[in-house]
Amino acid sequence: MRILLVGAGGVGDAIAKVAATRNFYELIVVSDYDFARAERTIEWIRNRHGEERAAKFLAAKIDASNASNVTELARAHNITHVVNAVEPKFLPTVFSGTFTAGANYIDMAMSLSEANETDPFHRPGIKLGDAQFAVSDQWERAGKLALVGMGVEPGLSNVFARYAADYLFSEIDELSTKDGGNLVVTDEAGNEIFAPSFSIWTTIEECLNPPVIYERNRGWYTTEPFSEPEIFEFPEGIGAVECVNVEHEEVTMLPRNIAANRVTFKYGLGSDFISVLKTLHTLGLDRTRPVRVRSAQGPVDVSPRDLVAAVLPDPASIGPRLSGKTCAGVLVTGKDKDGKDRATYLYHVADNAETMAEIEAQCVVAQTAFNPVIALELMAEGVWRGAGVLGPECFDAKPFLDLMSSSTGYKQRWVAQERLPASPLRHP
């Protein structure tokens, strides 16, 4: 297996660091528009693991907005698998460039949505991932696999859902992904500051777009942003966090392959974060279309959302000033294998102190990063195989979770926590 990693930012850097502890590949080309950033990742691997391990990595410059550049780099290094670790706005070019190169593909976020033009808060327009699923037949005919949504959410959440469907439940009423944490970022003086732990570009996209909900008798429909607030009790000391509906890939992916009466995604944003997002929307700073700005050097075109991302701290750099834990999981309700009511929260918790000590990556990007590496290892071993555009819920979850938690694998603990079947939620 020869891998092209597109992007050496927070998640890409962490992917390379996680992969450096494994032996299933021949080469990983770490590429980024900023060549020095790719080099820094490999230098970290050299310092931590030695020259012999670092020799399996190569730095390269790439323009992810140029499909032909992706194709050329993949062909130049005889790449078998491309891992897309850049912003979702670059997905079309990386996705198509990979296909043209004749390589397999993995991403952690899917093609972007477009709201319904006439009724955005009731009816979906183009859903997350629609553009990729539309060409699944082409990938299948080519005999190549595009494993999409293989991060933590989507990704590990999909694996949890498939595991619950196969091994824990006979009937599923609801699959509800719940994401929350107690993370705090401070400035140099120790004061808490607003600094998202993941890409603000992506956060704005998923939180301010109309959330999508799936119901078996209704299909997919949308609501107003931040709808259906509820208090969810997160485990391992995180505690009660208010969660709201946001747009996310699980809702558009899971109903295609897992029978459930309802599928939702709820994010524990907190009232302060929601207020900031609402303010950005009111001011038009969530827009992606460039606007003309006058400057001392003359007029320039600037995307408001890109500007917001530029002035906030880089999520990859906040690890030393971040504390707390983040939890990703799926609450599954329905009937167990004996037909009795059951509610189980399958989850993984990442502690920032631990991820910083292990790979010098803050916990949110670290929690995302190990999942595509596990998937690549299963693909290299022939355990996960297929062709077409497929999500992780299309594969047996047990080998993934076994490798994830094994002492000879990735040593990542996951838990299936039983909740009260009636309702594990407390509504405000």
DSSP string, 220-247: EEE--TT-S-EEEEETTTTEEEEEEE--
Per-residue pLDDT of 54-89, as tens digits, reads 999 999 999 999 999 999 999 999 999 999 999 999
Residue given tokens 């009731």 in the structure block: 122
SS3 389: strand
233-257 pLDDT tens trace = 999 999 999 999 999 999 999 999 9
> Count of alpha carbons within 13 Å of 351, Cβ hemisphere only?
10
Q: Name the pLDDT band for 425 (thresholds 50, 70, 90).
A: very low
Q: Does the pLDDT of residue 194 top 80, yes or no?
A: no
Strand pairing partners for 428?
none
Task: Tell me what the mean pLDDT of segment 22-40 comes to.
Answer: 97
Mean pLDDT score of the chain:
92
Read off the tokens for 84: 């897309």
Q: Where are the beta strands (DSSP E) in 166-312?
A: 169-181, 184-185, 212-215, 219-222, 230-234, 239-245, 262-267, 291-293, 300-302
Beta bridge partners of 222: 212
Asked if the 2-107 domain carries CATH number 3.40.50.720, the reply is yes
What does the block give as tokens for 121?
A: 């808060």
What is the C-alpha to C-alpha distance for residues 15 and 18, in angstroms, rounded to an integer? Answer: 5
Q: Where are the domains of the chain?
A: 2-107, 156-367+411-426
Q: In this structure, are residues 28 and 1 in contact, taking their beta carbons and an 8 Å threshold? A: no
Residue 403 in contact with residue 383, Cβ under 8 Å?
no
pTM over 0.75: yes
Q: What is the mean pLDDT of residues 111-117?
A: 94
DSSP 65-119: T-HHHHHHHHHHTT-SEEEE-S-GGGHHHHHHHHHHHT-EEEESS-PPPB--SS-
SS3 291: strand
The residue type found at 174 is E
Distance CA 108, CA 387 (A): 18
Confidence (pLDDT) at 233:
95
Q: Which amino acid is at 377?
A: E
First to last CA, the chain: 51
Which residue did the predictor score with more confidence, 343 or 270?
A: 343
β-strand pairing of 325-336 with 388-390: unpaired
Peptide bond into 120 cis (omega under 30): no
Specify the residue for token string 């690549």. Answer: 376
- Angle 83-88-89 from CA coordinates, rounded to 5°: 125
Give per-residue pLDDT as tens, 345-373.
999 999 999 999 999 999 999 999 999 99
- Give residue 365's pLDDT: 93
CATH code at 156-367+411-426 = 3.30.360.10
- Structure tokens of 328? 């990703």
Cross-strand bridge partners of residue 328: 179, 348
Quote the DSSP letter at residue 314: P
Q: How far apart are CA 174 and CA 217, in angstroms?
A: 13
Query: How far, in Å, CA of 427 to CA of 242, rounded?
Result: 9
Region label for 303, one of left (φ > 0), alpha (ψ between -120 and 50) or beta (otherwise): beta
